[in-house]
Amino acid sequence: MTELRSGRPDIFEKCEKFTAAKAAMAAGVYPYFHVIESGQDPEVMVEGRRMIMVGSNNYLGLTSHPKLKEAAIKATQEFGVGCVGSRFLNGTLTVHIELERRLAKFCRKEAALVFSTGMQTNLGAISALAGKRDVIVTDKYDHASIIDGCRLSFGHMKRFRHNDMHDLERVLQSPADGGGAIIAVDGVFSMEGDVCNLPAIVELAKKYGARVLVDDAHGIGVLGSRGAGVADHFGLEDAVDIIIGTFSKSFACVGGFVASSETVCHYLKHFARSMIFSASLPPANVASVTAALDIIENEPERRERLKEVAEKMRRGLQGLGYDTGESTTPIIPVIVGDDLTARTMWRKLFDAGIFTTPIMTPAVPENRALIRLSCMATHTDEHVERVVEAFEKAGREMGIIGGWSLA
């Protein structure tokens, strides 16, 4: 470390003091940044080993779909590899406009606006909408992008207990500062896999004069009669003011969007800094997302198969005695306890050829660390059986479930 002028603390000192990750590496229980050498399919190659992938958000199994690949190639041939500029200036192509038109129709809104990432979508939308006297009311389990959007805004964030409608009403009853209010919630909570109580949220929003924003990153493509997410699932498209979506889950790509009224989208075009000051989503990405939307709209059997896979996986794990929380979606949390238990469980599953995602503090409360499974429509029954068997063996060895030995 370079020695600095005497009397001034070194801003890099925190980097030297951060040793937790290296300690986990040395212990062989570091679960992050493992290199995948193949596509995000139900089986992947990881550092020379074939593994079952249950740690990907590729819910509909579209990452390797020929139609998405063909669309990306065609768009690249026509428009090149990138826009080298923001949407605000030179980065709006015909493919962006067409995708926004399709997304607005899909979400049953007047307009839509495409961002370069899902994270940037919440950052830009929330920070642009919430002014100095405004209040953003958030669920304590909301995604980090919602929380960071609140932090970047000039508004005041107030939080309510997870999916607790009595606590939400308590927060909404608190004295106002002369500004507006918006309730910002996940549609499907990304750690626990449960669904927000949208009907009750909508009723409370009406009662207290608040707007409703739903970040439906994990619901769009998965839930609803049309696959349009949580608002579609509850038949409340007209009651939700803003729908936030991402392309990095069911759409199998990267990017995000806002669907709302024409007035709101027009405002965000001119005030959402994360869109104005970011390079535009490349044409290949836009075209592949449009192709994915075609499949979501025209192949409902993928959602049915996904539901079937998730239910088989959930029943199998619950039958072993595992706590899978309140999940009713393809996200299945296997709650194991403290962070060390989660790391150890992850390592045993990894060694058994199962690629999972351990979730630890601060992403979840203390002593509620979990192994998160994400199911795909393209998982086979054999994949499900092998995953459950691996959880049985690991759980018995660690004393989390049943006796020790596995016949």
The DSSP element (H or E) to which 78 belongs, if any, is helix 66-79
Strand ranges across the sheet with 354-355: 43-46, 49-53, 354-355
Domains of the chain: 23-53+300-398 (3.90.1150.10), 66-298 (3.40.640.10)
Rg over CA atoms, the chain:
22
The DSSP element (H or E) to which 104 belongs, if any, is helix 94-107
| CA gap 222, 250 in Å, rounded | 7
- As given in the structure block, the two tokens for residue 226 are 């049309």
Q: Please, what is the Cα angle at 108 between 309 and 226, to 5 degrees?
A: 25
> Whose CA is closest to 47, among 33, 61, 57?
33
- As given in the structure block, the two tokens for residue 10 are 């070194």
| CA gap 208, 170 in Å, rounded | 11
**Encoded amino acid at 268, one letter:** L
The DSSP element (H or E) to which 314 belongs, if any, is helix 301-319
CA–chain centroid gap for 75, Å, is 26
Q: Please, what is the Cα angle at 374 between 369 and 375, to 5 degrees?
A: 145
- What per-residue confidence (pLDDT) applies to 269? 97
- What per-residue confidence (pLDDT) applies to 405? 42
Can you list the residues of the chain whose pLDDT is less than 70?
A: 1-5, 403-407
> Whose CA is closest to 252, among 56, 98, 51?
56
* DSSP-assigned letter for residue 98: H
| CA gap 259, 101 in Å, rounded | 10
Residues labelled catalytic: 190, 218, 249
Whether the bond between 362 and the residue before it is cis, its omega within 30 degrees of 0, is yes
DSSP sequence for 125-174: HHHHH--TT-EEEEETT--HHHHHHHHHSSSEEEEE-TT-HHHHHHHHHS
- What per-residue confidence (pLDDT) applies to 404? 46
Per residue in 312-355, pLDDT (tens digit) is: 999 999 999 999 999 999 999 999 999 999 999 999 999 999 99
* DSSP-assigned letter for residue 188: B
The DSSP element (H or E) to which 86 belongs, if any, is none
* 3-class SS of residue 249: coil
- As given in the structure block, the two tokens for residue 270 are 């001119």
- What per-residue confidence (pLDDT) applies to 292? 98
